[in-house]
Each structure stands twice: as structure tokens, then as C-alpha cells.
Amino acid sequence: MVSITINGREIKTDQEDITLLQLARSEGIGIPTLCFHKALLPYGACRLCVVEVTGGQNTKIVNSCAYPVREDGISVQTNTPKLKQIRKNILEFLLARCPEIDMVKKMASGLGVKEKRLPEKSLPEDQTEECILCGLCVRVCGEVIGKEAISFVHRGAEREVAAPFYSQSKDCVGCTACHFVCPTGAIKVKESGNKRFISPWNTEITLVTCEMCGISFAPENSGEYLQAKLGLPAEWLKLCPQCRRKVAAETMGKYDFTSRNVILKK
């Protein structure tokens, strides 16, 4: 059992390996994050989740998403002027990188960034930077899907996420998990006919069609892989989400919800 205080409130936990961020959030204390996702391992890239940890005489600034709660008696502050300033600075950089992204703009103004102090990233006329390099897409692909179809490439100012050799990745299963976790909407998925296009990765995936309504919905070649990996039900490969819902509703319709005991109607 470890007992710490967060913003003056005493909190106890006996969960091993719980991080400061998780503990704070479970107590309803908000800490902003960008590169954290509860399905993924802590990454510690965005530094937005910084908090001040005081143990004995020393106060240090740590990123709460990757800081395990182990020492008894530490006191944590999540919103001191210093921390606010750090977060503001980070958002200023992100804003300079991605001035067009709503989510970044909102977050920046929410943290009190009023004016743009830094020059914007220069890009060719018709391009805007949408990626903040949080690495969520790369990590979800590797950690959850188990594929590593995309990765960070180049470094420094040229760093970006891409599929190998900027061409269709043979490891991509077309699950669009990357699109799902992306906080800025940088990853675009388009579907037309039985094709799915994931634009930044130059990837095109063929889809299977629903047995009931004929709509194309799930990736063709990797359906089985995803189904096993993610523990999806068998119908996942046969019916599209709408039809699955319809079937579920019909099955449910056979139950009598008016009685407390659920009885199957004949």
C-alpha cells in the first residue's frame, strides 16, 4: 500500500505499477496528455502530462504518464504556475508546427496561449502539417495489432511517420487503428467500392462484402488475422456492422424485457 498526496488530497493505492497519471485520473484529477492512450504503453513524448513530485527536500518535474507510484509519502502537484508555463511552451511549439489543426488550437487556447510567438513551419504552398509525432499510430500498429506496418523515418526536423519506402506496406492489414487513435486527424481513410485507401501510407486494401447487404466493410486478406488478434466474433468477417446490429436487435427482440426475468419468447 502506497499513500501519496495529489494537489493536497491524500490518495492510497495498492495497485502495483500504476502510474501517477492513472492514479490521478482515477481520482478525477485531470492532467492533459497527447501521446498517452490507455491501450498502449507509456511513451513519454509530448511532455504535456508533467507534474511536480516532492519527496523530502527535492521537487522534480516528471512526466506522470510514465512515472510509477512507488514511493510512499510523496506529494504531487499537477497545476502549478511552473507546470502551466511548461505546457504553454509545448503548445506554442505544436502550434508553430501545426497551425491549422483544430485540436491543437483548442488545446493551446485552453492552456492560455494567446499569440503566436514562434514562426510557423515552412512548407510548400499546398501542404499543411497535420502530424504532431505523438507516435500513437506507430505504437497501436505494433503493440495492439502486432504488425509494425509503419514507423518513424528520418530524424530531426525531417522526422515523420511513413510506410517502408513510402510505398504500400505489405504488413498493413488495413485495420485503420492508426486512423482511430490519431488525435489530429492526420491519417485519412477513404473507401470507395471494395477498396479502402489509407492516405499517408499510400496503402490500398481490398475489402470483403457483407453477406446480408453487400456493402464492403472489412479488410480481405487480413480478416482472419485481425479476428484472432483482437478476439472478434466470427460474424465479424461475414456481416457489416449495420447488419450485425440488425441481427442482434432481432435476437434481442425475442426476449421479454417487460418481465424482470428474461424469458425467451417462442
Residue nearest to ligand FES (CB): 65
| Residue of 35, 69, 141, 218 interacting with ligand FES (CB under 6 A) | 35
Task: Locate the DSSP E strands across 14-113.
Answer: 50-55, 58-63, 75-77
Shortest separation between residue 63's beta carbon and ligand FES, angstroms: 4
User: Which residue is it, cell 530531426?
Assistant: 156
Beta-bridge partner residues of 9: 6
**Distance separating alpha carbons of residues 95 and 119, to the nearest angstrom:** 10
Which is nearer to another protein, 3 or 167 (by Cβ)? 167
| Residue of 2, 4, 34, 107 interacting with ligand FES (CB under 6 A) | 34
The angle at the Cα of 28, spanning 26 to 30, to the nearest 5 degrees, equals 105
Shortest separation between residue 69's beta carbon and ligand FES, angstroms: 15
Instruction: For residue 67, state whether it binds ligand FES (rule: CB under 6 A).
Output: no
Shortest separation between residue 138's beta carbon and another protein, angstroms: 8
Instruction: For residue 22, state whether it binds ligand FES (rule: CB under 6 A).
Output: no
State the residues that interact with another protein by CB under 8 A: 147-155, 162-165, 169-171
CB 189 within 8 A of CB 199: yes
**Distance separating alpha carbons of residues 83 and 92, to the nearest angstrom:** 14
Task: Tell me which stretch binds ligand FES (CB under 6 A): 7-15, 42-50, 87-95, 180-188.
Answer: 42-50
Which DSSP letter does residue 119 get?
P
| Residue of 5, 7, 18, 44 interacting with ligand FES (CB under 6 A) | 44
Which is nearer to another protein, 165 or 257 (by Cβ)? 165
| Residue of 22, 33, 216, 222 interacting with ligand FES (CB under 6 A) | 33
The angle at the Cα of 255, spanning 252 to 256, to the nearest 5 degrees, equals 135
**Distance separating alpha carbons of residues 172 and 89, to the nearest angstrom:** 36
- Radius of gyration, CA atoms only, the chain: 23
**Distance separating alpha carbons of residues 162 and 171, to the nearest angstrom:** 13
Shortest separation between residue 178's beta carbon and ligand FES, angstroms: 18
**225: which 3 cell numbers?**
488475422
Answer with the entry of another protein, ligand FES, none that 77 interacts with (C-beta below 5 to 8 A by kind): none
CB 235 within 8 A of CB 212: no
Answer with the entry of another protein, ligand FES, none that 35 interacts with (C-beta below 5 to 8 A by kind): ligand FES
Shortest separation between residue 154's beta carbon and ligand FES, angstroms: 21
Q: Which residues bind ligand FES (CB under 6 A)?
A: 33-36, 44-49, 63, 65
